[in-house]
Amino acid sequence: RALHVDGALLVVDKGAGLLTVPGIGEAKADCLLSRLADAGHPEVGHAAHRLDRDTSGVLALGRTPAAHRSLCVQFQERRASKRYEALVLGWPAEDAGEVDLPIGKVRRPGGAARMRVAAGAAGAEQARPSVSTWRVLERTSLPDSGVGVARVELVPVTGRAHQLRLHMEAIGHPVLGDELHGSDEAAAAAPRLCLHASALTLDHPDGRSGRVTFRSAAPF
């Protein structure tokens, strides 16, 4: 779903379950970029930033080479500000906090390397400093079981793969519907990953329109 279109910028609300860019192999050819090309935007051939396949929400794309370069620089220099909304298992003891834990590929015996919180982990590869902040928006419970659930706002200060999911799992509050990180209880608690990019603020890549913000309400 398009949120904004002008000569330099296309902003979309990506659905859950859709890759941002094509993966390896024919089975992963379907993605946001291919669908945009089919919908009349063949000029959008690259993505300056991505959302995980199962994460929904706001994503900005440049419609010209200059606009794409501008977006790339902003994300590389952390001048673009992103906010997410999530449902997590359990009620955090505090109303807000920060998670400062390195993330890297951790190779388990007999298994493939996967992105994990790497603090003190054996077999950690290329661990990088990673910081996220969180703030509780609402405390509620699952209707069937009564298990506590918190709606939280998440801000990735750094931008590592799966960072928000890993950090919330690390503090004992995994994202609902996350089948890759966290507990079986959290994975079974929702039919999708309850993580949504709800706001994106950046400098408009046309160089004239100043700072702009785009928002999308969480669908869960």
Catalogue the active-site residues: 52
First to last CA, the chain: 17
Spell out the residues 6+ positions from residue 76 whose beta carbon is closer than 8 angstroms to its own: none
Q: Which two tokens stand for residue 51?
A: 């959302």
Helices (H), the chain: 32-38, 65-76, 163-170, 184-188
**Largest Cα span, the chain:** 54
Task: Give me the torsion for CA of 189, 190, 196, 198, rounded to 10°.
Answer: -90
Q: Which two tokens stand for residue 165?
A: 């999911």
- 21-52 residues labelled b (16+ CB within 10 A) or e (exposed): eeeeeeeeeebbbeebeeeebeebeebbbbbb
- Cβ atoms 20, 219 nearer than 8 A: no
Q: Which of 27, 79, 24, 83 is nearest to 51 (CA)?
A: 83
